[in-house]
């Protein structure tokens, strides 16, 4: 019987429980490879085990085969012998009275064959139990007893008549061989090969783990080892199988930069050497000082970290940022310095700082990049210029362009600027710092409370009686740095806001508040007709509700009425002279003639534009006339002539800035204010003359008579409407002109 030492030398096995029956036998079979197996020789092992108690009744037997491919290379057989209780170690209790029997009894055989690399070997084992029966004189004795006969071949023996004389009678012995089954262990004998390494490079002076891929790395016997080709690299196997393995490595701090070779081995051979690159560590940045850089400055920057080397390259990447070369780099690669300049126009955004490692006198090879970048990356920040916009109140185009002179206005919420209604407001926004430009400028004002001015139709400047007057268009509010306008909302609060985008991406804004002053509690009083039109008639008549005109009295009377404007807050007027303006616009006039017999009406065309400025504003007047033929009516065939006129009378207030400034037509800068409307009223009048064809007391036959004349004036309505006219009517339309309408 073979010893347990032999069984302990197995390095790869296949086993199974072949038979188990309580009280009879438990059998385990093994097929495996012995530890002595090497690249030259395969040592196979086949074994059958039974429990100790069953060994009194059965022998264990085994036949071991060794195949290379399909070819049998070796075969061996073995079985246990008769079990002597005293052969046990320690002896059975039947020998010394205090036994510890062994747990199992087993038998095994070794098979051997030379190794041919790349072949597939199989250890094939057949497992048996052998028992014996004897009986005397044909009488069956069920007692089983193993007499120790040799096991030579499977299949069992037939009953035999072997003679044996126990003292009487013939003894017959039967050997029974019981086949239980088989086990096998199959394995290949290919040497290992490495296809890839991950990572392919490591850092000098460091330890870690690499992963290899390949074929036949750990063989079927479980063997896998690794070794280096030089003393600066140590590799050992951490784990692995046939296709992959993890290897622990350690690189000395003095190892050369470049490839170092290692191999892996199994039972059947060694792989080809594989290169593991040893290099420098990648750069890692852990700190930047200062971490933020206001735009428009120069800064000396310190970068700290690891793996820089003693000769790194440093750069700062961001719009508007330029950087110099690294200096004062530490020999241990943990610190370097460089200089940066940040343009005034640099935007508010991160700056990428890049440290490229470098070593004096050596080509840099990264030992742990493995396809990645060896560069150290960190971020600093550019703090963009964020200037605060502010508005100035200026008085001329030069200052409006440069915006360096003039009154600096407080931002909204910081106090209001007091101005007069009609005062010129010329604002500019202070420019951002040099190098920063503005775009998308926009002014925000309440458009209904401002005007572009009150100007001449013909020339730039104040309204002119001859050429005309009108409200100027509102100023442009987009893409301009200055704006000129006039508030016409008397006694109101206003705000002006400016916004733009700066070339560094930041917003730019400015604002100002205004308190607009002017006369308050404006009233138009004493509105009443002043005089009727001058007439010559037998019977008196009234005009606009006033008493009769004496008959046959050619005295000149003005036609019109009196208006008086009253207002509080006279200090806002800025001048001792009344700043109230009256502007009367002739909206329409018509001259009519009725011809006796023909019974027709003709309308005399006006000789001036309509509407036009009344040359005698604010009142209309009539000229003296009589019954002389030179000024009298036309021949008696014209029986009646008449006139009808309509007016719009505007009241305006002018702050007269500077104090007492009189506007100069055509000069827009002569005054820094314009009149602003307070309100208006509409009124009209009409009258007629009649030729009675009767001889009067003075001997003429052409007498002018007008049985009626009338007028009407509406109420005064507050309004911001500006008067609008072209040209001036040189004299009021009168009855006298009506007579001369036709040649």
181-201: pLDDT as tens digits: 899 999 999 999 999 999 999
pTM above 0.85, yes or no: no
- Locate 161 and state its tokens: 């008549």
* Cβ partners under 8 Å of residue 354, min gap 6: 314, 315, 316, 317, 375, 376, 377
Quick check: 98 pLDDT over 80? no
Quick check: 635 pLDDT over 70? no
Given this model, what pLDDT does residue 531 score? Answer: 40
For 736, the enclosing helix (H) or strand (E) is: helix 735-739
For 5, the enclosing helix (H) or strand (E) is: helix 4-8
CB distance 355 to 361 below 8 Å: no
Given this model, what pLDDT does residue 414 score? Answer: 78
Given this model, what pLDDT does residue 656 score? Answer: 81
- With H, G, I as helix, E, B as strand and everything else as coil, classify residue 482: strand
Given this model, what pLDDT does residue 562 score? Answer: 57
Given this model, what pLDDT does residue 411 score? Answer: 84
Residue range 684-710: mean pLDDT, rounded? 51
By percentage, how much of the chain surpasses pLDDT 90?
45
Q: How far apart are CA 669 and CA 602, in angstroms?
A: 48
Least confident of 108-112, 345-349, 401-405, 731-735: 731-735
Distance from the Cα of residue 69 to its chain's centroid: 68
How long is the chain? 743
pLDDT band per the 50, 70, 90 thresholds, residue 612:
low
For 735, the enclosing helix (H) or strand (E) is: helix 735-739
Nearest to 221 by CA among 91, 100, 121: 121
Q: How far apart are CA 522 and CA 517, in angstroms?
A: 13
Residue range 676-704: mean pLDDT, rounded? 62
Order of all β-strands in the sheet with 41-51: 10-21, 25-34, 41-51, 104-114
Q: How far apart are CA 660 and CA 574, in angstroms?
A: 7
Q: Quick count: other Cβ atoms within 10 Å of Cβ 643?
A: 25
Given this model, what pLDDT does residue 623 score? Answer: 31
Higher pLDDT, 147 or 11: 11
Residue 647 sits at the vertex; the CA angle it makes with 646 and 650, to the nearest 5 degrees, is 165
Q: How far apart are CA 638 and CA 601, in angstroms?
A: 11
Quick check: 738 pLDDT over 60? no
Q: Report strand pairing: 321-323 vs 335-342.
A: antiparallel
Q: 287-331, pLDDT tens digit by residue?
A: 999 999 999 999 999 999 999 999 999 999 999 999 999 999 999
Q: How far apart are CA 362 and CA 284, in angstroms?
A: 20
Q: How far apart are CA 657 and CA 670, in angstroms?
A: 9
Given this model, what pLDDT does residue 49 score? Answer: 87
**What is the three-state SS of 576-644?**
CCCCEEEEEEEEEEEEEEEECCCCEEEEECCCCCCCEEECCCCCCCCCCCCCCCCCCCCCCCEEEEEEE
Q: How far apart are CA 387 and CA 510, in angstroms?
A: 10
Query: Which 8-state DSSP code applies to residue 305?
Result: E
For 650, the enclosing helix (H) or strand (E) is: strand 638-653
Q: How far apart are CA 60 and CA 461, in angstroms?
A: 133
* Cβ partners under 8 Å of residue 733, min gap 6: 589, 591, 606, 620, 643, 645
Q: How far apart are CA 70 and CA 332, in angstroms?
A: 65
Given this model, what pLDDT does residue 305 score? Answer: 97
- What burial letters (b/e) apply to 602-620, b meaning 16+ CB within 10 Å? eebebebebbbbbbbbbbb
Quick check: 74 pLDDT over 50? yes
pLDDT band per the 50, 70, 90 thresholds, residue 142:
very low
- Locate 632 and state its tokens: 């009298």
* Cβ partners under 8 Å of residue 605, min gap 6: none
């Amino acid at each position: 019987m073979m010893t347990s030492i032999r069984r302990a030398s197995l390095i790869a096995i296949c086993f199974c429980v072949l038979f188990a029956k309580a009280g009879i036998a438990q059998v385990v079979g093994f097929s495996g490879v012995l530890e002595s197996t090497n690249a030259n020789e395969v040592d196979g092992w086949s074994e059958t085990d039974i429990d100790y108690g069953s060994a009194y009744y059965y022998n264990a037997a085994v036949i071991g085969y060794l195949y290379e491919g399909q070819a049998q290379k070796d075969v061996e057989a073995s079985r246990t012998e008769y079990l002597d209780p005293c052969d046990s170690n320690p002896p059975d209790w039947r020998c010394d009275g205090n036994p510890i029997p062994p747990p199992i009894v087993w038998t095994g055989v070794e098979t051997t064959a030379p190794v041919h690399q790349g072949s597939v070997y199989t250890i094939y084992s057949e497992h048996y139990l052998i028992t014996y029966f004897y009986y005397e004189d044909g009488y069956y004795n069920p007692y089983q007893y193993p007499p120790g006969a040799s096991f030579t071949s499977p299949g069992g023996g037939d009953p035999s008549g072997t003679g044996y004389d126990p003292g009487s009678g013939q003894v017959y012995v039967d050997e029974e061989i019981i086949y239980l089954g088989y086990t096998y262990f199959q394995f290949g004998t290919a040497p290992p090969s490495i296809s890839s390494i991950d990572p392919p490079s490591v850092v000098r002076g460091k330890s870690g783990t690499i992963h290899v891929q390949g074929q036949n790395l750990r063989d079927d016997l479980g063997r896998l080892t690794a070794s280096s080709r030089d003393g600066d690299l140590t590799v050992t196997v951490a784990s692995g199988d046939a296709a992959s393995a993890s290897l622990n490595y350690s690189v000395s701090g003095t190892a050369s930069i470049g490839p170092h070779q290692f191999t892996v081995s199994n039972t059947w051979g060694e792989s080809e050497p594989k290169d593991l690159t040893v290099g420098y560590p990648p750069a890692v940045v852990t700190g930047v000082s200062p971490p933020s850089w206001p735009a428009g400055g120069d800064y000396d920057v310190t970068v700290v970290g690891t793996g820089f080397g003693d000769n790194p390259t440093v750069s700062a990447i961001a719009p508007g940022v330029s950087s110099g070369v690294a200096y004062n780099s530490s020999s241990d690669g943990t610190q370097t310095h460089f200089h940066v300049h940040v343009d005034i126009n640099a935007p508010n955004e991160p700056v990428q700082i890049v440290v490229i490692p470098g070593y004096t006198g050596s080509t840099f090879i990264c030992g742990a990049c493995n396809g990645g970048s060896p560069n150290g990356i960190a971020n600093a920040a550019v703090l963009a210029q964020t200037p605060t916009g502010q508005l100035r109140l200026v008085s001329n185009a030069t200052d409006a362009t440069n915006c360096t002179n003039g009154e600096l206005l407080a931002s909204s919420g910081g106090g209001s600027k007091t101005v007069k209604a009609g005062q010129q407001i010329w604002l500019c926004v202070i420019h951002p710092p040099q190098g920063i430009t503005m775009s998308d400028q926009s002014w925000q004002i309440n458009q209904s409370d401002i005007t572009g001015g009150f100007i001449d139709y013909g020339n730039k400047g104040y309204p002119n009686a001859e050429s005309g007057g009108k409200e100027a268009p509102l100023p442009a509010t987009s893409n301009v740095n200055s704006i000129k306008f006039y508030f016409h909302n008397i006694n109101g609060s206003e705000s002006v806001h400016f916004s733009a985008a700066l070339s560094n991406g930041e917003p730019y804004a400015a604002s100002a508040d205004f308190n607009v002053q002017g006369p308050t509690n404006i009233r138009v009083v004493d509105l009443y007709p002043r005089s009727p039109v001058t007439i010559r008639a037998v019977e008196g008549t009234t005009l606009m509700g006033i008493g009769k005109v004496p008959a046959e009295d050619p005295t000149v009377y003005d036609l019109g009425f009196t208006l008086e404007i009253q207002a509080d807050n006279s200090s806002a007027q800025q001048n001792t002279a009344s700043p109230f303006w009256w502007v009367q616009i002739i909206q329409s006039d018509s001259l009519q003639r009725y011809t006796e017999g023909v019974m027709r009406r003709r309308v005399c065309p006006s000789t001036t534009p309509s509407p036009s400025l009344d040359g005698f504003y604010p009142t209309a007047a009539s000229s003296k006339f009589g019954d002389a033929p030179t000024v009298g009516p036309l021949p008696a065939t014209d029986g009646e002539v008449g006139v009808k006129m309509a007016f719009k009378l505007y009241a305006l207030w002018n702050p007269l800035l500077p104090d007492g400034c009189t506007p100069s037509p055509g000069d827009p800068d002569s005054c820094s204010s314009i009149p602003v409307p307070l309100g208006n009223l509409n009124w009209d009048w009409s009258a007629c003359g009649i030729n009675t064809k009767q001889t009067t007391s003075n001997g003429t036959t052409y007498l002018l008579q007008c049985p009626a004349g009338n007028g009407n004036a509406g109420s005064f309505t507050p309004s911001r409407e500006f008067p609008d006219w072209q040209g001036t009517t040189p004299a009021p339309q009168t009855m006298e002109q009506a007579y001369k309408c036709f040649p």
